[in-house]
Amino acid sequence: MKAEEVWILLPISDWSNAEYGLVFGFTTWAIDQVLERMLQSDEMKSCSCESWVAEHGHILPPLKATLLFIFSFAIILGWPNLILDKTPTKMKDPRPHLTVFIIVLLFSFVSCVSHTEEDFLQCLQLHNSASIFKLVYTKTNSSYSSILKYSVHNHRFATKTTPKPLVIVTPRHASHVQATIICARRHGLQIRTRSGGHDFEGISYTSRVPFVVIDLIKYRKIEVDIEKRTAWVQAGATIGELYYRINEKSKTLAFPAGVCPSVGVGGHFSGGGYGFLIRKYGLAADNIVDAHMIDVKGRLLDRKAMGEDLFWAIRGGGGASFGVILAWKVKLVSVPSTVTVFRVKRTLEQNATKLILKWQLVASKIHEDITINLILQRVNSSKKGELTTQATFEAVFLGGKDQLIPLMQESFPELGLVKEDYTEMSWIESVVFMIRVARSLSYLLQRNPTSVQTNYKAKSDYLRHPIPEDGLDGIWSLFNEDEGKGVFMQLFPFGGRMDEISESELPFPHRSGNLCLVLYLVFWQEEGDEAAQRNIHWLRRLYSYMEPFVSKSPRAAYVNYRDLDIGVNNINGYTSYKQASVWGEKYFKNNFNRLAHVKTKVDPLNFFRYEQSIPSLVSKSHK
């Protein structure tokens, strides 16, 4: 048989689309077979490809895509004819073949993603019982969207264009998490771990590369031991659930964490965690005595097994850089049977500026049993058609009003509190009081308490010196702009116990010398990129305006108020320590270097990575 009589070597211009499809299908199958056999060979098994997989993903999909690309391109150029030294006498219009080429490319990449997802699911089944599939959701599952959206609190990341996970795993047992990590590593998928879903930049459930979400919503058991004054709380529980369960056992024990009840303990504690007990007992992370986590090798570790360096790192350094936190053992703290609260509001017309100036001098120096939070918002003025700024002063005091009244008269008489402003209640009731919208203790158990779909952007700062009066006036001017209608600016005081803990005690370094933590939030209801960009741009202007008044070298930030504006890693490639330190030193100051050394020890190939994960110090040449 002559070569030119063989169908496969006919001039390319004479091929039909059906023939293209047949050849492509056969070639795809052949490439699959060759690559699978190659990867199962003894030579490949002995080759250490782990670093490549950790950096780029599983080796099979990109190899397959590359070979299909070369094959398709060869078809377009007519390489078979060149091999035979046979040039067609008449070439047809190449555009139909270009269309086929594009379709081939799309199919190859889609098939690779599908291949990875199928392999991941098969791997899960091999490493766990079939029952795990009752806890696994793919995009073809009818519950996939509801599971994904349930814990999305920032609706900037609930759009049609937001990247979605290939698979959501909702574990009930540590073995489910172990299998997920092992299989994600093996098949080149990244991990996102979601506890409560409050990450301000959506990092716990979005990614620009193929990924799996470990959603801990079903991993939320809480065990309170009153005699030992401790509690084990699984990472999928919320701080509201923790408070509620503590109160069931004792009215005089508490835990020093945040205010928002639907925040998950997994992320909140691993970033520090603060609330109205901060000046008495420090951060949530300061009161953690043990932890359970799964590391990159799929091992279940407690404090003893992980060692003190890793235990240090996950208490304030962001646990998701090092593994998956499963549970915390926390030390409970004492509170009196009666606490006192107040909340008073003052506008600019009611001398709010002068009161804020005094608050800056008092709030971090007053007795550690009281925390006075300050919230700034734009409101309508009593003058028709005009706007003003309202300052809300709200406090929790660990004691009765008879003790608090003379303390406030001595330290902050300008606030003008009267006896009716003070309310005595239990500590758990003060938690509900500070939520503002809550009416009963059962509110603490609601994981998704509002149906309002709100978009927001946040940034943070630390004040080490008071903002002068003319500086405050500039803030009020910005508040009066159109985008200022959605602003929420909170100044939360430090001092007390925070002044007694060294910067290196935990990764959270913002201790002595800080007057307060500043949170900037802007909310908007409008949908679409234009509204988002307009409001985000306004918040960035406010942040820029604040630069002269806040901490410097570095301008510090709070890791639990995630802000990608301050710097990001290369999400699907090597990130140097120098590049990551741009944002890392803002969150962790001098502790960032130690965090990087811990990361290098426990996850040298940087499997657990995201936009602001701690980098490994393993050089690019060794990956």
Active site residues: 561
Tell me the CB-side half-sphere exposure of residue 277, using CA atoms within 13 A: 25
**DSSP code, position 546:** T
**C-alpha of 246 from chain center:** 26
**Which residues touch 467 (CB under 8 Å, ≥6 apart)?**
356, 360, 475, 549
Report d(CA 506, CA 588) in Å as an integer: 9
**DSSP code, position 264:** B
Q: How far are the Cα atoms of 181, 346, 473, 488, 520 from residue 379, in angstroms, in the given order?
A: 48, 11, 16, 11, 16
Helix (H) or strand (E) segment spanning residue 62 = helix 60-77
Mapping DSSP to helix (H, G, I), strand (E, B) and coil, where does residue 118 land? Answer: helix
**C-alpha of 110 from chain center:** 28
Report d(CA 352, CA 348) in Å as an integer: 5
Extract the runs of DSSP E, i.e. beta strands, from 338-476. Answer: 339-347, 370-380, 387-397, 423-425, 455-463
Residue with tokens 């771990």: 193
Report d(CA 409, CA 236) in Å as an integer: 43
Two tokens at 304?
Answer: 């003893």
Nearest to 510 by CA among 543, 558, 548, 552: 558
Report d(CA 60, CA 112) in Å as an integer: 8
Long-range contacts of the stretch 128-136 (C-beta < 8 A, 24+) = 128/175, 128/176, 128/179, 132/169, 132/176, 132/179, 135/169, 135/170, 135/171, 135/172, 135/176, 135/218, 136/167, 136/168, 136/169, 136/170
What b-and-e string marks burial along 131-165, b requiring 16 or more CB atoms within 10 Å of the CB? Answer: ebeebbbeeeeeebeeebeebbbbbbbbeeeeebb
List beta partners, residue 345. 392
List beta partners, residue 387. 380
**Which residues touch 78 (CB under 8 Å, ≥6 apart)?**
11, 12, 13, 88
Quick one: 62 exposed, middle or buried, by C-beta within 10 A (0-12, 13-18, 19+)? Answer: middle
Counting every residue written for the chain, the total comes to 623
Q: At 518, which amino acid appears?
A: V
Q: What is the DSSP string of 13-58?
A: GG--HHHHHHHHHHHHHHHHHHHHHHHHSHHHHHS--HHHHHHH--
Report d(CA 423, CA 417) in Å as an integer: 12
Two tokens at 179?
Answer: 């299998």
